[in-house]
Structures are given as C-alpha cells and as structure tokens.
Amino acid sequence: MRVFTTMVYRELKRFSHSRARVIGSIVNPLIWLIFFGKGWSGVFNNPMAASIFGGVDYMTYLVPGIVAMTVFNMSFMQGITIIWDKQFGFLKEILVAPASRTEAILGRITGGAIMAMMQGIIILALSFALADLKLSGVLPALGMAFLVGIAIAGMGVAIALRMTSMEGFQMIIMMIMLPMTFLSGAFYPINTMPDWMQWLSKVNPLTYAVDGSRYYLAGVTPTFGMTVDWLVLGGLAALLAGIAALEFRKATID
C-alpha cells in the first residue's frame, strides 16, 4: 500500500502546486453556471418548463450536472499527466522500480479522482448561493462523483498509455468528452432527446452520475433508479480502473 499512497500523494501535491490549473478548474464551471445557467433560467422561468425539469427551476436542475461535469473533465485530464511523465522520464522510473505496477497506477487514478472531487466540492459549495439545493444530498452526491472520477481517470490513463503525443491525446479526449457531456443529461432531460441519442446516453458513465446527483441535490426523480445508478457507476469504476491497470502492466520502456 505504500506505493499506492505515495502515488496518491504525488498527484495531489502536483495539482496543489499548479496555481493556474487550480484557478482554471474552478473558473471554467463557474462560467457555465453563471452565463449559461443564468441566461437560460430566464427563458425557462415558467410552470411548463419547471415540469420538464422535474419540478425545479433550471439553475437547480443544472448545478448537479455541472458538478458531475467538472469531476468528469478533470478526471479525464489525468491521462495528460501520463504522457507528461513519459516525456520527462518519470514513467520509466516507475516501470523499472521494484514496486507493484498495479498499485502505482491505481494510486495515480485514485489521486486524480480525489483531486477532481475536491474541485467538485468547491463548485458545489459556491452553487448553494445560486440554486435551491439539499444539504443532505451532498455526501451521496460526492460519493457518486468519486466513482465517476475513478472510472473516467481510468479511461483517460488507458488511452494515454497507448499514445506518445500530448496534442493527439487532447484531440481524442475533446472528441470523446463533448458528446459524453451533452449526452449525459447535464443540460437537458434525456427523455427529450431523439431515440438514438437516448440509447447512446445509456452507455455513458456520466449519465448515471448526473442522474443520481440530481436526485440527491435537487430532489428530481431519477431516470434509471438509484440502485441502477450506483451499480453502473461502481461497475464501470472497477472495470475501467482494471483496464488501466492491465495496460500499465503491459507497458514497456521505449
């Protein structure tokens, strides 16, 4: 476990020392909340729109999605640190060290998920001034954020382990992240989407984090049910972290 905890500590320390990254990770979701959320809140300020959004105002509907999206985006970026370490030789040191590769990569994934969840906590705390949220739902919502963080960090690491170019990785994650974000139901209900989009949303891990968080924080009836949300997130977290661990065990020194 020493390797695992060391890697968790390293990821958190590296993030805390990057002031620009910390500020950017907070400002970006706030821009979505203030300019997107406040702008559309006026459009949807009527009883008919409230019925579409589960009986709550649009800002309250939006906040859980933005929190989940923040964790999702920052977890995916964990793959960039892998490519960075490849270029600067740190990854080679891990590969030749007499330590468990599985513990090392799981520590990085967990550290990335904790880091992303901490950013989600900050956004959620600030959001209480903008929306009518339930304080009792904070802890279970953060539990879901942690699971989606593990799942997406695992996905990002697995992709990054097969790449050498920072630019190429960024292009790929942008192609993946935008559709997953809009298919998650973060901005509008899934049942208003075309049938083919609804099908795609059901294979999107972020969908279940948004669905569960919205129930806990806003009281909106979940689309899939809470048992399904927890099982899917837990299963995907284990699966994608496991795939990343397998990829790292097969990694070679170039």
Nearest-5° angle of CA 235, CA 237, CA 243?
A: 100
Tell me the range of 11-25, 100-114, 206-220 where mean pLDDT is highest.
Answer: 206-220
> What is the longest distance spanned by two Cα atoms in the chain?
63
Which pLDDT score, from 0 to 100, does residue 211 have?
A: 94
- Considering the entire predicted model, what is its pTM? 0.86
Decide if pLDDT at 17 tops 70.
no
Decide if pLDDT at 27 tops 90.
no
- For 156, half-sphere exposure in the C-beta direction (CA atoms, 13 angstrom radius) is 33
Domain residue limits at 118: 2-250
Query: Smallest Cα–Cα separation from 133: which of 184, 69, 67?
Result: 67
Per-residue confidence band for 249, with pLDDT thresholds at 50, 70 and 90:
confident
Cα separation, 23 vs 225, in Å, equals 35
- pLDDT above 70 covers a percentage of the chain that reads 88
The tally of domains found in the chain comes to: 1
Question: Average pLDDT, whole number, for the chain?
Answer: 83
Which pLDDT score, from 0 to 100, does residue 143 have?
A: 93
Per-residue confidence band for 10, with pLDDT thresholds at 50, 70 and 90:
confident
Residues 53/39, Cβ–Cβ less than 8 Å: no
Q: Poorest-confidence range of 1-5, 110-114, 148-152, 220-224? A: 1-5
Q: What is the pLDDT of residues 152-170, one digit of tens each?
A: 989 888 888 887 777 777 7
Q: Within 10 A of 131 (CB to CB), how many other CB atoms are there?
A: 21
Which pLDDT score, from 0 to 100, does residue 199 have?
A: 92
Structure tokens at 225: 């049910």
246: CB partners within 8 A, 6+ apart: none
Which pLDDT score, from 0 to 100, does residue 96 have?
A: 66
3-class SS shares of the chain: helix, strand, coil, % to 5 = 80, 0, 20
Cα separation, 151 vs 131, in Å, equals 28
Per-residue confidence band for 241, with pLDDT thresholds at 50, 70 and 90:
very high
Structure tokens at 250: 């097969």
Decide if pLDDT at 47 tops 70.
yes
Report the pLDDT averaged over residues 36-57. Answer: 76
Report the pLDDT averaged over residues 208-228. Answer: 92
Q: What is the pLDDT of residues 69-116, one digit of tens each?
A: 888 888 887 777 777 777 666 666 666 666 677 888 888 888 888 888
Cα separation, 218 vs 64, in Å, equals 8
Which pLDDT score, from 0 to 100, does residue 231 have?
A: 96
Which pLDDT score, from 0 to 100, does residue 212 have?
A: 93
Residues 186/206, Cβ–Cβ less than 8 Å: yes
